[in-house]
Amino acid sequence: MARFGIHLSISGGFTNATSRAVELGCDCFQIFSRNPRTLRAKPIDRSEADAFRSAVAQARLKPVVIHVNYLVNVASPKDETYGKSVSALTDELSRAEILSADYLVLHPGNHLGSGAEAGCKRIARAIDRAYEDSGSSVMICLENMAGAGTEVGVSFAELRAICELSEHGESLGICFDTCHAYGAGYDVSTDRGLDRTLDELDSETGLNRVMFVHANDSKGQLGAARDRHEHIGKGLIGMAGFKAILGRKELRDLPFILETPVDSPDDQVRNLAALKAAAEEGS
């Protein structure tokens, strides 16, 4: 049986996210470990981390996923941005370790015109340096991207290339984002499209690398390279698409984490219910 969760805010403290996860009936959840609008972060103090870990254990929330700050770009060809991004990724790995997170999810980055191949090399080296400098053992999961601008990690072949280039490649995971896949031209809204998508994913990275799914409907058209998340069932993937996704034996036992818009306070409740309904009807 799949496990369901939501990306939750840590504003007011890490344990606010765990309380909200329990309130919403989540099995798992995702957070940022720092303010997403800046690359600077104050260290996590031990009592804060202890309180978070015991709240997670008590509520049996698993997995705990941390999303890397959006400003990190480890594909950048610019040395200054790259240096800052590698330091930030190192810090993210340390914070994930302190919080006993299961996974740290990373957007591979933007190559800014240097090309996907050069980008993949920069990303792999950044991952290796961040593991060496942090000493952390938290698994980094590369997220597939929609293909906006110069994003790297849009095709599954690019995700494989990063794994192959990294010394830690054997132990890197994949986070499969349904909205990003749809934007990249992988039609996850139909059974036939899912057949092709999962076949390609399996032959490139191996399905066993997929640790969890970001369950997001899409406002953007198939292949439009747009990263615009929509409420479950209200976008172009639609309820039929999510039933098909949650009915797949390759995916249905994975954790599914929502990153859908929060326009009104009830949206999280509604999207979680829609996802659970799709799981029941899809199986």
Nearest alpha carbon to residue 55 among 90, 21, 78, 80:
21
**Identity of the residue, 109 or 238, whose beta carbon is nearer to Zn ion in the bound complex:** 109
Catalytic residue among 133, 191, 250, 259: 259
Mark the segment that binds Zn ion (CB under 5 A) among 19-27, 79-87, 171-179, 241-249.
171-179
Is residue 214 at the binding interface for Zn ion, with CB under 5 A as the rule?
yes
- 168 has catalytic annotation: no
- 48 has catalytic annotation: no
Mark the segment that binds Zn ion (CB under 5 A) among 12-20, 51-59, 212-220, 272-280.
212-220
In the bound state, the residue with its beta carbon closest to Zn ion is 214
- 267 has catalytic annotation: no
Mark the segment that binds Zn ion (CB under 5 A) among 16-24, 46-54, 154-162, 251-259.
251-259
Show the binding pattern over residues 134-153: x = contacts Zn ion (CB under 5 A), - = does not.
---------x----------
CB distance 77 to 112 below 8 Å:
yes
Is residue 92 at the binding interface for Zn ion, with CB under 5 A as the rule?
no
Mark the segment that binds Zn ion (CB under 5 A) among 35-43, 45-53, 177-185, 217-225.
177-185
- 37 has catalytic annotation: yes
CB distance 64 to 100 below 8 Å:
yes
- 111 has catalytic annotation: no
CB distance 147 to 183 below 8 Å:
yes
Strands 64-67 and 3-7: unpaired
- 7 has catalytic annotation: no
**Angle CA(207)–CA(178)–CA(24) in degrees, nearest 5?**
105
- 167 has catalytic annotation: no
Task: Read off the tokens for 279.
Answer: 């799981």
Q: Fill in the amino acid letter for 210.
A: V
Helix (H) or strand (E) holding 67: strand 64-67
**Identity of the residue, 133 or 259, whose beta carbon is nearer to Zn ion in the bound complex:** 259
**Shortest Cβ 218–Zn ion spacing (Å):** 11
Nearest alpha carbon to residue 203 among 156, 146, 253:
156
**Shortest Cβ 259–Zn ion spacing (Å):** 5
Q: What is the SS3 assignment for 50?
A: helix
CB distance 221 to 235 below 8 Å:
no
Q: What is the SS3 assignment for 176?
A: strand
Cα(7)–Cα(115) distance, rounded to whole angstroms? Answer: 31
Catalytic residue among 111, 180, 228, 231: 180
CB distance 119 to 108 below 8 Å:
yes
| Residue from 177, 187, 217, 227 in contact with Zn ion (CB under 5 A) | 177
Catalytic residue among 7, 122, 229, 231: 229
Query: What residues are annotated to the active site?
Result: 37, 67, 70, 107, 143, 177, 180, 214, 227, 229, 259
| Residues in contact with Zn ion by the rule CB under 5 A | 143, 177, 214, 259
